Chains A and B, each alone.
Chain A
Amino acid sequence: MNAPLLEIRNLVKHYPHVKAVNGVDFCLQSGTCFGLLGPNGAGKTTTVEILEGIHTATSGEILYKGEAVGNRFRNEAGIMFQSTALQDFITVHETLVMFAQLYPQNTDLDELIRRCNLTDYLEQDNRELSGGQRQRLLLAIALVNDPDIIFLDEPTTGLDPQARRNFWDLIEAIKSEGKTILLTTHYMDEAYTLCDEIAIMDHGKIIAQGTPKKLLAAHFNDAILQIPESDIPNPDSLPFELQNIKGIIEITTNDVNHTINELIARNISLSHLQVRSRNLDDLFIELTGKALRA
């Protein structure tokens, strides 16, 4: 395996009464998308902001291309914060030009504008952008210096489903160019779709790490059957582990065939039956004990 592009060793950040990050280690390989997941307060934003140079670590080591992070990293990193105000009374084009001039090297601005679908809004004041346009501009700003590594902090939060899908396409396109991405997100489907590797944080530590498929395989070998409550006259009589979630009975089972046969034997209608595999939402709750957006 090649040397990692970014290597984090025993990262610690302590505030007077809080251990926000408590010994975090992980590596980002070139050309991969690494997802950092965790409930609010898990320490993922603090971790990412230490990597971005916004905060200073209490202790630990961060190596970029084998060297301690410094000016080189600052010049070669692209950063998209979850929420960033842009200068008022400045157009989209002027904003991009301004950020481009802050770096020693730039990507082709016309190509960047086209790729981020900003062509129609170039002369628009930053204040007048919609949520989706604004996120695309923030992504363009993060890419303006042709970065080798890109930090995306909850980039699709607040976007409608269509804008979110469009944004995913943009990120996939960036990935296909061999760029390295560190993504934090609350959306498990986003992490599953975009990330080659994920790490789940809680209480300042990484509690699970690996590819999404391997993590799911390691933690689950069962499936969930979902049947409307109205189709099961007497659920308490069933010999299964089950939960009633808003009128839907969920049966967790290691043997789907056996469970379905049991249901048929009890004359339970299967016309509304749905079978689903475990997903990252389940894994997240399993590991952290918390709802995703808690």
Chain B
Amino acid sequence: MFLKRFFALLNARNKEFLRDRASTSWNILMPVLIVSGLAVTFTSDFSDQYKVGIFSDKNSVSQQTNAITDFLKTEYIEFVDITDIENAKTKIQRHQLDMLIDTTTKQYWINDESPNGYLVEKILHSGGTHGLQKQTLSGKKIRYVDWVIPGILSMNMMFSALFGVGYVIVRYRKNGMLKRLKATPVTALEYLSVQIVSRLLLIMAITIFVFYGTNLFIGYAMHGSHLNLFLIFALGAINMISLSLIVAARITSEETAGGLLNLISWPMMFLSGVWFSLEGTNPIVQNVAEFFPLTHVTAAARSIMIDGAGLADVSYHIIILGAQSIVFLLIGAWTFRWE
């Protein structure tokens, strides 16, 4: 009987969503538009500036050659202080840095597949003997769109989960639909399960569609397993749907629900590392971001797509997402009221 009721409600809910063309179209179009806009914006070379990372200490600065000192004064090159040399090497591999100079060991690195690296090296050599030993790294260029797409897919998932479940439940409570269902043999657990499964299916279908659809004309970096990425997105979706159940547990006003959902989603949108890396930001911001599910979905998906990470590599994010999901679900189910 549980399954019969479950599938009856699931079927009706799915039909409602799919036939609501405005809502369905917006759920699909929004991420496509954002991704396309970013692809167009960031694939054009709007700047001819080069970026060189400098890893040094006081001793090495005093010992550096005139050629290096002159090089560091070159216009149209942005010199960035580096504190983590290994992280900087990764950026060389991804073409996020054109050159890395370590004045303490008197070495420099360029990516032998990077035209910018080649040109910056020419500029370095033009100043005379610099005394640095060349090291090469290789790796395909990671464009901003490659870096940002895991976050955008996660963000779209967040909005769909929070507003598609939380807002809808509050609307049904307000207009008496939940009261009508309460008068049937349907239990709260059955009803909430339907909301979770229905939205999970829709989110995953839309995410897959957007991912593969936009990938056809943009071509993302995807070095990890598609299945792993799918699992991370599914876990993230469950987490954020569960979070929305807490919001929707008792509220009877759509305005209150909308305000609360915005209060949750907007900080996550900007402080979860979707648009820019949180490295170097205020530690308080980084600590707060650790509590956001979007931070962990984005980070795990990014690791899988860009670094080719496996599930073990992103286990930290999986554990946090899983634990949060359980807590959110328990609170949401415990506090749920039909009216």
Contact = CB atoms under 8 A, between A and B. Distances in A.
Contacts of A99: 184
Nearest to A85: B175
B185 A87 contact: no
Contact of B12 (A71, A83, A84, A87): A87
Interface in B116-154: none
B180 interface: yes
B185 A103 contact: yes
A58 B16 CA distance: 38
Interface string A68-79: 000100110101
A1 interface: no
A170 interface: no
Interface in B137-175: 172, 175
B20 A101 contact: no
A101 B185 contact: no
Interface stretch (A22-30, A88-96, A183-191, A199-207): A88-96
Contacts of A141: 180
Interface in B9-24: 9, 11-13, 15-16, 19-20
Nearest to B178: A85
A75 B177 contact: no
Contact of B8 (A53, A79, A101): A101
Interface residues on A, range: 20 to 34
A220 interface: no
Contacts of A81: 176, 179-180, 183
Contact of A74 (B172, B177, B185): B185
A153 to B, nearest CB: 11
A291 interface: no
A75 B185 contact: yes
Contact of B11 (A88, A89, A98): A98
B182 interface: yes
Contact of A85 (B7, B16, B172): B172
B16 A90 contact: yes
A52 interface: yes
B177 A54 contact: no
A104 interface: yes
B6 to A, nearest CB: 10
A88 B175 CA distance: 12
Nearest to B338: A54
A102 B185 contact: yes
Contacts of B338: 54
A74, A87, A141, most chain B CB atoms within 10 A? A87
A93 to B, nearest CB: 12
Interface residues of B, number: 26
B339 interface: yes
Contacts of A75: 185
B1 interface: yes
Contacts of B250: none
Contacts of A122: none
Given A86-B177, A87-B16, A53 B182 contact: yes
Interface in A200-226: none
Contacts of A71: 185
A53 B183 CA distance: 7
Contacts of B7: 101
B5 A102 contact: yes
B16 A84 contact: no
A102 B8 contact: yes
A83 B176 contact: yes
A88 B16 contact: yes
Given A75-B185, A89-B20, A98 B12 contact: yes
B245 to A, nearest CB: 19
B154 to A, nearest CB: 28
Contact of B15 (A83, A94, A101): A94
A52 B179 CA distance: 10
B12 A90 contact: yes
Given A94-B15, A102-B5, A79 B183 contact: yes
Nearest to A103: B185
Contacts of B186: 102
A54 B1 contact: no
Contacts of A103: 184-185
A102 B182 CA distance: 11
Contacts of A88: 16, 20
Nearest to A78: B183
B4 interface: yes
A94 B9 CA distance: 11
B86 to A, nearest CB: 54
B19 A54 contact: no
Nearest to A97: B8
B167 to A, nearest CB: 14
Given A53-B183, A79-B180, 16 more contacts: A71-B185, A74-B185, A85-B176, A85-B177, A87-B16, A88-B16, A89-B15, A89-B16, A90-B12, A90-B15, A90-B16, A102-B5, A102-B184, A103-B184, A104-B185, A141-B180
Interface of B: 1, 4-5, 7-9, 11-13, 15-16, 19-20, 172, 175-177, 179-180, 182-186, 338-339
21 contacts: A52-B183, A53-B182, A53-B183, A54-B179, A74-B183, A79-B183, A81-B183, A84-B177, A84-B180, A85-B175, A87-B12, A87-B177, A88-B16, A88-B20, A90-B12, A90-B16, A97-B8, A102-B184, A102-B185, A102-B186, A141-B180
